[in-house]
Amino acid sequence: MPPSMSEKKVGPVNLVDPEDGIHLGVVRLKGGFVEEIDLVGEEDPSLPYLLPGFVDPHIHGAVGVDFMSATEKDLERFECFLRSRGVTGCLLTTVSAPVENILKAADTLQSYVHSHPNSVFKGVHVEGPHINPKRRGAHKLEHVQRLHDEEFQNVFSHPMVKLMTLAPELEGFGQAVELAKRYDVILSIGHTEAPFSVITKAVEVGVKRFTHLCNGMPLIHHREVGPVGAAILLENVVAEIIVDGVHLSQEMVRLIHKLMGSRLELVTDAMEAAGLEDGRYKLGRIEVVVNAGIAHLSDDTLAGSTLTMDRAVLLFHKYTGANHSEIVKVSSHNAAFELGCKELGRLREGAPTPVVEIGSQFEYLKVHT
């Protein structure tokens, strides 16, 4: 569904921009964009705050749509749902699968984006199949494989592929780094058992991101801090976290925030059950059961989430006490900057809608389109 062409005024509210700071102002929205901003004063903590729309670099599906099998009509319904939850940009995420299936999903998205130039879909996050089988989570073992130069060059070179999750300890990682540099694809460390020494070498060659920190990797040990310790200690990296109260305890979220500050990106890792009732669903071709909003395999392995970005933001504030400026960084600006989406993650004239209004005490969240 295209953005409304009607005009809407929001304010006076506190306008939160990660680079320009916080100012009191009035915003006029029209045709899916911030058309005009009128600054009227300094921050007033008693009034609501207006933030740029969310950017989610890791989402598999929602409202009955799974990216791996989605049609263009499915993607339209998916996008409409995401806009209603405040998302202005995201990367649709694959699961480990044969290369031809990954490319088919990317081709469908490319066709959709061509006919929807202002879509929230900004590309593809390829999660697997070059991951550690011992840390594969909900990825099917039969699809986890080593990197094959020729066929994976077709994945790296696809114009929709922007991000890829890999395990740096596996054979072929060096080739992946070279392909990523050649085709301007961001690499992310995930589904890994790599020790600190291997992680450090990966970061030295330019891999400066972690996929769903703590999940799909060993936790810190007093003789081997591993990937979680590396993310904390290496200050030039960022890490995704899934703040749904399930993938990470609220105490772990607080600890990560205390140690890493705003070097975080909130993601949903949502699958097709997001926005729907409990029941049986699929993640790629994997059977998933959703009970009490928790998505899991038959052996209780977590299989993505039913989280939405608006809820992730409210939970992150509840667990950490993060203020509005920090929320902008972890919910939109960090991911937008990393992906090179200059139009996202900022609250300024020309920015796309939706924009997100949050109460001064985070007592409510409202989406404006």
Task: Choose among 47, 60, 45: nearest CA to 10.
Answer: 47
Q: Are 289 and 147 within one domain?
A: yes
pLDDT of residue 129: 84
In order, the DSSP letters of 191-234 are S----HHHHHHHHHTT--EESSTTTTS---BTTB-HHHHHHHH-
66 and 24 inside one domain? no
Instruction: State whether 82 and 94 are in the same domain.
Output: yes
Q: How far apart are CA 297 and CA 286, in angstroms?
A: 8
* Secondary structure of 229-270 in HEC code, one letter for each residue: HHHHHCCCCEEEEECCCCCCCHHHHHHHHHHHCCCEEEECCE
Return the pLDDT at 148: 66
Q: Are 203 and 179 in contact (CB under 8 A)?
A: no
360 shares its domain with 250: no
**Which pTM was predicted?**
0.95
**Is residue 123 located within the same domain as residue 6?**
no
* CA–CA distance, 291 with 100 (Å, rounded to integer): 32
Whether residues 192 and 224 share a domain: the answer is yes
Residue-level pLDDT at 135 = 76
Residue pair 261/51 in contact by the 8 Å Cβ criterion: no
Same domain, yes or no: 355 and 365: yes
- 19 & 151 share domain: no
Per-residue pLDDT tens listing for the chain (369 residues): 455 567 999 999 999 999 999 999 999 999 999 999 999 999 999 999 999 999 999 999 999 999 999 999 999 999 999 999 999 999 999 998 889 999 999 999 999 999 999 999 999 999 988 888 887 766 676 677 776 667 788 999 999 999 999 999 998 899 899 999 999 999 999 999 999 999 999 999 999 999 999 999 999 999 999 999 999 999 999 999 999 999 999 999 999 999 999 999 999 999 999 999 999 998 888 889 999 999 999 888 998 999 999 999 999 999 999 999 999 999 999 999 999 999 999 999 999 999 999 999 999 999 999
186 and 308 housed in the same domain: yes
pLDDT for 6 = 77
Which are the catalytic amino acids?
A: 269
Same domain, 16 and 164: no
Which pLDDT score is estimated for 71? 98
What pairs with residue 356 in β-bridges?
51, 367
Provide the domain limits for residue 71: 54-344
CATH number at residue 19: 2.30.40
130's tokens: 């070059």
Calpha distance 200→115 (Å, rounded): 42
119 and 172 assigned to the same domain: yes
Tally of structural domains, the chain = 2
Helix (H) or strand (E) holding 49: strand 49-52
Same domain for 334 and 296, yes or no, is yes
pLDDT of residue 181: 96
CATH of the domain at 327: 3.20.20.140
Can you tell me whether residue 31 is helix, strand or coil? Answer: coil
